[in-house]
Amino acid sequence: MGLNKTIIIRGGGDLATGTISCLHQCGYQVLVLEIAKPTAIRRSVAFSEAMYDGETEVEGIKARKITQFSEAEACWQDGVIPIICDEKAEAVKAVPHFAFVDAAIAKRNLGTTIDMADFVIGLGPGFTAGVDVDVVIETKRGHRLGRIIREGQAIANTGIPGIIGGYGKERVIHSENAGVFHGIAHIGDLVKKGDLIAKVDDAPVYATLDGVLRGILRDGLPVPEHFKIADIDPRLSERENCFTISDKARAIAGGVLQAICIYENGLRSGEGRK
């Protein structure tokens, strides 16, 4: 078949990690682009943590920070996912690839264009299929989660988190002020409503409901006002879920993989981008 098997992915947060893991296990060579200081909340299942620690592991798969694009090949040979600081996506010019996936989940387009690869995918709101990407993958919880959109856009961002265990906006905690974040509780901790879980400078941050601390920002990062800093899962029996890729991330990954397989099958049939 002789197809290029390299895919560049922008973003290494928890939702992106579902896609990265899936494509890696399906035999693709994945290169992840990140910012210097990622702000993932579900850090235990985010490959972006390698930007701080040099290397991280999610469900038995390792990601390793590199500083030069030329180092990616050695990672692939070792069965490790390379991740590099590349906010402007310079890798598009430097690394041969056939697909580009914007998985930053920024709810807006950070500069992705349809000419960045033979096949370009955008996850969630901010992209228009057929204009700045080839297809969009729906990221909103519900009946359409993971669907491939070939025309138009994903469902607009409502700013309201999806419902888990009967809770939506209550389970996600935002900073009330700007400052430096100081974590007190840890991912996987059982917390009760009113427990002190962190501080932003000297301002206390309290748990908003009883549950399992599913995610919390890395200690020492500066945050602006109303920045997402923690996530509580009200399902007390689901502690182990804090350390595995979520159902949502897997559904999105399935949509990405399906879109890529459809594209590759089209190539074999002599079809290309319309």
pLDDT in tens, 42-85: 999 999 999 999 999 999 999 999 999 999 999 999 999 999 99
pLDDT tens-place string over residues 12-34 = 999 999 999 999 999 999 999 99
Please give the pLDDT value at position 1: 36
Given a cut of 90, whether residue 165 has pLDDT beyond it is: no
Secondary structure of 190-240 as H, E, C letters: EECCCCEEEEECCEEEECCCCEEEEEECCCCCEECCCCEEEEEECCCCCHH
Please give the pLDDT value at position 235: 84
Please give the pLDDT value at position 160: 66
Please give the pLDDT value at position 217: 98
Given a cut of 90, whether residue 157 has pLDDT beyond it is: no
Residue from 185, 206, 10 nearest 111 by CA = 10
CB-based contacts of 58, cutoff 8 Å, min separation 6: 17, 21, 44, 45, 46, 47, 245
CB-based contacts of 97, cutoff 8 Å, min separation 6: 4, 6, 7, 8, 31, 91, 117
Residue with tokens 């899936």: 22
| CB atoms inside a 10 Å sphere around CB 111 | 12
**Pair of tokens at residue 178:** 């700007």
End-to-end C-alpha distance for the chain, whole angstroms: 21
User: For a pLDDT cut of 90, what percent of the chain falls above it?
Assistant: 86
Q: Angle CA(152)–CA(253)–CA(59) in degrees, nearest 5? A: 160
pLDDT tens-place string over residues 202-244 = 999 999 999 999 999 999 999 999 999 999 999 877 789 999 9
Dihedral (Cα; 89, 94, 96, 102), 10-degree rounding: 0
Please give the pLDDT value at position 168: 67
Confidence of residue 270 (pLDDT cuts 50, 70, 90): low
What is the tally of helices (H) and strands (E) in the chain? 5, 17
Confidence of residue 4 (pLDDT cuts 50, 70, 90): confident
Given a cut of 50, whether residue 2 has pLDDT beyond it is: no
What is the DSSP code string of 122-180? EESTT--BTTTBSEEE--SSSTTTT-EESSB-PPPP-S-PPPBTTBSGGGEEE-SS-EE
DSSP state of 70: G
Q: What is the mean pLDDT of the chain?
A: 93
